Amino acid sequence: MSSCDFKNRNIYLKKSVVELENFIKEQKVLDQEAYYDLFLIKSKILNKKELTNYIEKLKKQYPTDKDFFEALKQSFDEQLKQIQASQK
């Protein structure tokens, strides 16, 4: 992927993040599917530490849903391990 393609990709991903965050703010209850989509997109932009910090923030913000956010984090950690193993 050329640097121009990568830059354009990130622009569109960041726009998607903003749109999803706006959608989430408008919801009266926690929308797990929207958070999954948001995390999926953020996983393509942020590094692992930033993602972990983001999940920890959400777990504090939504303590009754911390199990969901922990499971979400673990599922992405497992996907990353599988990708790394397939590249060896």
pLDDT value of residue 76: 78
Give pTM, 2 decimals. Answer: 0.80
pLDDT of residue 87: 58
Answer whether 54's CB lies under 8 Å from 68's CB. no
- Which of these, 57, 69, 88, 1, lies nearest to 77 by C-alpha position? 69
Q: What is the pLDDT of residue 82?
A: 65
pLDDT along the chain (88 residues), means of 10: 78 95 94 94 88 92 94 80 62
